[in-house]
Chains A and B, each alone.
Chain A
Amino acid sequence: MIVNLLELFWAFFKIGAFTFGGGYAMIPLMEQAVVPKYISYELFTDMIAISESTPGPFAINMATFIGTEESGIIGAFFATLGVVLPSFIIILLIAILGANFLKNKHVKAAFYALRPAAVGLIIVAVTSLFFKLVFPGLELKNFSFKELTQDFQLIPLIIILIVFAISKIFKKLNPIYLILISGVLGLIFYGLPHIV
């Protein structure tokens, strides 16, 4: 039990220590850390959606959820503590010692590279999600055109295109509404064949 808790703590400590660029950029990192060890890929992607609709940052929501699944409320505590601690310590040091180290030219240089890296991770996140949803059988490492057409899922693609169009027409629309709309579309496209 204690080993599980420590493992949870450490797994999320690493996540908390390396999530730059906020939000979506940490999806690939988190996926590598918790899928399939702690949850399935499907549940992971659903948690992304749930996190968009609930208060709180993605990292903390994920830590609490996985911690609870693993070892109840204590697990949630250890996982959440793990994910929060690195930034807490680092920021406290900066607040106490002053932000001068951020002006150091080597630190600036490192961040100059980390910013495009974070953007790269967001691109990885969306590309990976897209391919796994629309072309489930495909492995990018062993790309084959046969796999491209074999398991092709049309409905997700249609929903993606519709929601994308809506997001471009109604640019100021709150993301939560886009999620609601996509949920309704899912109900329509997956549900209708059953009713008809």
Chain B
Amino acid sequence: MKKKLLDLFLTFFKIGAFTFGGGYAMIALLEEEVVTNKGWLTSEEILDIIAIAETTPGPLSVNASTYIGYKVGGIGGSILATLGVVLPSFVIISILSVFIIKFKENKVVEMIFKGVRSGIIVLIFNAAFRLTKKVPKEIFTYFILILIIVTTLIFNINVILMLIISACLGILYGLIIMNKKIADEENIEEATCDDR
């Protein structure tokens, strides 16, 4: 059991150390390590886990490590796997923090950073564009989209509040749709009954 825990820690340490800038590269590495190399889970199970990890709050890597860690080694496994996945960035950033402020005092470095700020905008824009295309083209979803943009961007309303409101609106919408569907089905039933 101890070996398994150590194994979990090291595997997720590796995953945490080699995924730069974001989720999807991590998924490939996750699959390679957890399914192909260690055989802890099957490909189908990984897909389910990723679906869960993408839905729940928190970073993908932490969600995946917690879940897989638990499946493989109980609560201890989830703790060690999560510790492993978090540690590389924790160590790197802590060390970097000491230098960042000093670095930025250098004029040359500041010029590079100024350029990078512009580059980041392109990255996020491309991501935003890609994801907006995937939003279901319905009134409700576009309403939420625009609501969030207007309240956050222009009026700077608390994001957490808006997320809670959005979730509630979603539930409300679900109830309305359900009621409409039930009403529609009743109408259809009535109509078909009359034919007899």
Chain A residues packing against B (C-beta within 8 Å) = 14, 16-20, 22-24, 27-29, 32, 43, 45-46, 48-61, 64-65, 68-69, 73, 76, 80, 83-84, 86-88, 90-92, 94-96, 99, 102, 105-106, 108-117, 119-130, 133, 140-141, 155-157, 159-160, 163-164, 167, 175-176, 178-179, 181-187, 189-191
Asked whether, in the complex, the Cβ of A183 is within 8 Å of the Cβ of B113, the reply is yes
Alpha-carbon distance A187/B147, docked complex (angstroms): 39
Q: In the complex, what's the smallest C-beta–C-beta distance from A60 to chain B, in angstroms?
A: 5
Closest residue on chain A to residue B170 by CB atoms: A113
In the assembly, what is the distance between CA of A126 and CA of B53, in Å? Answer: 25
A29–B57 CA distance with the chains assembled, in angstroms? 13
Report B-chain residues with C-beta under 8 Å of the C-beta of A87: 56-59, 62-63, 66
Residues of A within 8 A of B63 (CB): 87, 91
CB contact between A102 and one of B19, B55, B66, B70 (< 8 Å): that residue: B55
- Mark contacts of B107-134 with chain A using CB atoms, 8 A cut-off: 1 yes-contact digit, 0 otherwise: 0100111111111111111111001101
Q: Would you call A122 and B128 a contact (CB within 8 A)?
A: yes
Q: Give me 6 other A-B pairs in contact (C-beta within 8 A), A54-B20, A69-B97 excluded.
A: A49-B113, A92-B66, A110-B167, A115-B135, A160-B122, A186-B114
Q: How far is the CB of A117 from chain B (nearest CB, A)?
A: 4
Q: Count A-B pairs with CB separation below 8 Å.
A: 336
The answer to whether B156 and A167 have CB atoms under 8 Å apart is no
Residues of B within 8 A of A61 (CB): 89, 93
- Say yes or no: A120 contacts B146, CB within 8 Å: yes
Assess A167 versus B126: contact at CB under 8 Å? Given A50-B96, A59-B59, A91-B66: yes
A182 to B90, CA, bound (A): 26
Knowing A91-B66, A187-B115, say if A56 contacts B57 (CB, 8 Å). no
Determine the chain B residues whose CB is within 8 A of the CB of A159 once the complex forms: 115, 118-119
Cα(A116)–Cα(B142), bound, Å: 7
Instruction: Count residues on chain B whose CB falls below 8 Å from chain A CBs.
Output: 94
Does chain A have a CB within 8 A of B174?
Answer: yes
CB-based contact A178/B82 at 8 Å: no
Complex interface: chain A residues within 8 A of B125 (CB): 126, 130, 164
11 examples of A-B residue contacts, CB within 8 angstroms: A18-B163, A23-B23, A52-B21, A53-B20, A56-B61, A87-B58, A91-B63, A92-B70, A112-B174, A133-B117, A182-B122
Inter-subunit contact B60/A22 (CB<8 Å): yes
What chain B residues lie within 8 Å of A27 (beta carbons)? 124
B142 contacts across to A, CB distance below 8 A: 116
- B4 contacts A by Cβ under 8 Å: no
Cβ of B38 < 8 Å from any Cβ of A?
Answer: no
Whether A99 contacts B148 in the complex (CB less than 8 A), given A114-B167, A186-B114, comes out as no
The answer for the CA separation of A45 and B166 in the assembled complex, in Å, is 27
B89 touches A123 (CB 8 A): no
